[in-house]
Amino acid sequence: MQFNPKALITLPVLMVLMAPCSWAEPDTSASLSDAPAPSIEDTAPKGRLPLEELRTFTRVYEHIRNDYIKEADDATLLKYAIKGMLAELDPHSTYLDASSFEDLQRDTTGEYGGLGIEVGMQDGLVKVISPIDDTPAAKAGIESGDLIAEIDGTPVKGLSLGDAVEMMRGLVGTEIELLILREGEDKPLDITITRDVIKVQSVRWKILEKEYGYLRIAQFQLNTGIETKDAIKGMFKDTPDLKGIILDLRNNPGGLLQASVAVAGAFLDGGLVVYTEGRTENSNNQFHAEPGDSSNGLPVVVLINGGSASASEIVAGALQDHRRAVILGTQSFGKGSVQSVLELNETQAIKLTTALYYTPNGRSIQAQGIAPDIVVERAKVEAIRPNYSRITEADLSGHLDNANGGEEKNSKRREQENNERDGLFSQDNQLFDALNLLKGLNLFGGHRSNTAAESSSNESD
């Protein structure tokens, strides 16, 4: 599939390992090189450059040219000036050279080389926003919230995020050693990761306890919306009497905005999903779901955590505002800004924050995130059961059969069922709670029949 340079994406800081990205629709009416130059005066009203500050800049520039210990050419110094100017604006505005642009294209198609983590900066260290499913980083035990203090023995303090990203890149099959600071650990962790080609499977699904669908989205890519709807169709084909769906967006760093709108639309019968507001008219947009709820009005529980960012927050916020799903887990990351990629020339561009995202009810996601309706922390839990099998009526010799012909459940059968539940309970308590909540919603009228859903959809048409 050909890459669309006007695609709108919402990742935090993604590397090839991941490459920094987050795209928005660029202003095609004029490039930066076509914009009129602001006038220069000693006093600087809006639209005019301050003369004294420009004089200071040129003095600094000349000192570096003439006195710095290493000779630097003008082109390099001007590129550094651009990088520094953008870096000071916010964590997501950045300069894109040819290599960064190529990395960005790989990220949106879901295949690239590296470790498979999304990162940002915190207190001078590289912070892991989330590892991506089934990547070298996830397999090596990297967790959301980890702070990278050293890369192959080199301290991260003093490095820019771009420099740190560049150090973590490398040939497929080579190893990299990271010194990790993790909350709750008494000492730093040394983790060695082997670089690999990252192929992200965006959508996966399965059926839990024969009646409930589990839909996992790892990242929002070009075809995630279509794959989500296909997954829901697969659930209904496998389980015609499906009673509810769990949408797992934990540790999902985001991706394409169009994909997030399509995913939200799979659970909505039309309506506003998200809107953006910025300083320019081009930055003010609304994005609506198409009519038709692919999930047929089934109850939905959405799982989020601190690694759920950007496009994930758009989906969770939209379903929460429309009262279409219950959000369960912990507070999301809070990346609610829009970045536009503005071309400087054929090989250079800048990624500039130009707007903010808002949920349908007008909530800003930026630096706040989505608060779950039900807070459930990830925890290690263990069921307390007697170390012996309790005798049941079905174990007694000569017991009467069930009056309705139902399946008998002796102690062995009950122990088997308990072990199945305990497996999910101990491995993923948040998913276990989401499943129980879904059962409750289904019990108390949350289930909407397929016929009723189709009828409602036809009436709205």
110: three-class secondary structure by DSSP: coil
Which residues have a catalytic role annotated? Answer: 310, 321, 335
Neighbours of 235 (CB within 10 A): 22
Q: Which residues, 6+ apart, have CB-to-CB distance to 297 below 8 Å?
A: 448, 452, 453, 456
Q: CA–CA separation, 161 vs 10, rounded Å?
A: 18
Q: Which residues pair with 57 in a beta bridge?
A: none
| Strand pairing category for 111-114 and 196-199 | antiparallel
Question: Environment class of residue 36 by beta-carbon count within 10 Å: exposed (0-12), middle (13-18) or buried (19+)?
Answer: exposed
**Residues 381/426, Cβ–Cβ less than 8 Å:** yes
Q: Are 336 and 293 in contact (CB under 8 A)?
A: no
Q: Which helix (H) or strand (E) holds 216?
A: strand 212-217
Structure-token match 């959000």, residue found? 327
E strand or H helix at 197: strand 196-199
3-class SS of residue 97: coil
What is the 8-class DSSP label of residue 397?
Answer: T
Using an 8 Å Cβ cutoff, are 283 and 355 in contact?
yes
Place of tokens 């102690």: 411
The structure tokens 């690239």 sit at 112
Name the 3-class secondary structure at 73: coil
Q: Minimal CA–CA distance to 109: which of 3, 197, 19?
A: 3
Instruction: Say if strands 203-208 and 212-217 run parallel, antiparallel, or are unpaired.
Output: antiparallel
Angle between helices 411-427 and 429-441 (to 10 degrees): 120
Nearest-angstrom CA–CA distance, 209 and 438: 12
